Amino acid sequence: MENVDNLIAEIDGFKAESAEDLESYRLRFISKKGVVGALFQGLKDVPNDQKKEVGQKFNAVKQKAEEKFQELITELKQRTTSEAKAPVDLTLPPTGIPLGSIHPLRAARNRIIEIFARMGFNVADGPEVEDDWHNFTALNFPENHPAREMQDTFFVKKNPDVVLRTHTSNVQIRLMENQKPPIRSIMPGRVYRNEAISARAHCLFHQVEGIFIDENVSFRDLKQTLYHFAKEMFGQDTQIRFRPSYFPFTEPSAEMDISCGLNSPGECELCGGAKNICKGTGWVEILGCGMVDPNVLENCGIDSEKYTGFAFGMGIERIAQLKYNVSDIRLYFENDVRFLNQFRTE
Ligand code: PHE
């Protein structure tokens, strides 16, 4: 009986400040497993002659607990609605709208376009879902030739093949088919390759390719154009070197490296001394290039006796990695604001 009086006092004094308080009240006093429930459990041990009196008392506690519960509910409801209706202080200064920043890939792409635009290159665009002719055959990839395996391809449809373009070279073909030289264009865009995703490779990435077709275009023009690009992009001290390479659509073909230690090769300025990008060689590859193969010109109806040209292609992720010191290509696609915030310019 003493317990019962204590319980009544506890119920009377209970205050619910929040929904959590209300719930703990419910568990303690209303739920069958709570303290009031336990009282009724104990009723069977009460001697018969006292059962009536004790039972009435217990019922009174139960009723009190339920009435109080309803009271707490209405009180809490009133409080939350009056809080929501609190007057807005219009004199407070605004909190400001959080501003986004330019994505590093977009920034690198803009810079590449800017540099080539100053040399007279315009920007061309083309489809990402492409037929076999524009992605492969016109680019001098013979059918069943192992060179097709250089690029792991996503097929949308087989026979006739429709693919997700593996490079933006398809736009070169479309330009040459539809325009007369001189042609001087770059083509930035998304490309797709069926590769395992890792810190260095992704199944979706971005390229900027370029092409220049005119009379008397030579390897010298190619070198000078790309040399100028590298210096503008990575600084005036950047050195370049060409290594012989192979692409079906260019002959001769080369890959271009830039110096890692910008002032003296071997010092790894790009790697920050860590040699993790240049692997200690002092040079990092940034693009593929070459003189457009006469077969490709003829495939597009351009007289290869009269015209020559050069082409090049680079990965924007790679350029941005070197420019901004990004260690893992996957960071570009995760949209983690902790990564993106570092590219704020304001
Ligand atoms: N298309 C090549 C690639 O995706 C790049 C390239 C373009 C090479 C033009 C030479 C000339 O790897």
User: Tokens 């004094």 appear where?
Assistant: 13
The predicted pLDDT at position 118 comes to: 97
The predicted pLDDT at position 144 comes to: 79
Decide: 155 and 163 in contact? Cβ < 8 Å. yes
Is residue 148 lining ligand 1, measured as CB closer than 6 Å? no
Give the whole-angstrom CA distance, residue 322 versus residue 315: 11
pLDDT reading at 267 higher than 70: no
- Amino acid identity for residue 133 in this structure: W
The more confident residue out of 167 and 2 is: 167
Handedness of CA 227, 232, 238, 242 (dihedral sign): negative
Ordered by start, the domain boundaries in the chain are: 2-84, 104-343
Give the whole-angstrom CA distance, residue 272 versus residue 327: 12
3 state SS of 243: strand
% residues pLDDT > 90 (the chain): 56
Q: In the predicted model, what is the mean pLDDT of the chain? A: 89
Ligand 1 binding pocket mutation candidate from 173, 192, 209, 292 (most atoms within 8 A of CB): 209
Question: Phi/psi at 87 (nearest 5 deg)?
Answer: -65, 145
Calculate mean pLDDT across residues 78-103. Answer: 81
**Which residues have a Cβ under 8 Å from the Cβ of 198 and sit 6 or more positions away?**
329, 330
**pTM value?**
0.72
User: Tokens 């193969």 appear where?
Assistant: 293
Which of 43-47, 109-113, 129-133, 242-246 is the least confident region?
43-47
Instruction: Kindly give the distance from the C-alpha atom of residue 53 to the centroid of ligand 1, in angstroms, as a whole number.
Output: 96
Is residue 250 lining ligand 1, measured as CB closer than 6 Å? yes
Give the whole-angstrom CA distance, residue 251 versus residue 295: 10
Distance, CA of 133 to chain centre: 31
> For 168-188, how does the pLDDT look when each residue is reduced to its tens digit (9 = 90+)?
999 999 999 999 999 999 999
CATH topology of domain 104-343: BirA Bifunctional Protein; domain 2 (3.30.930)
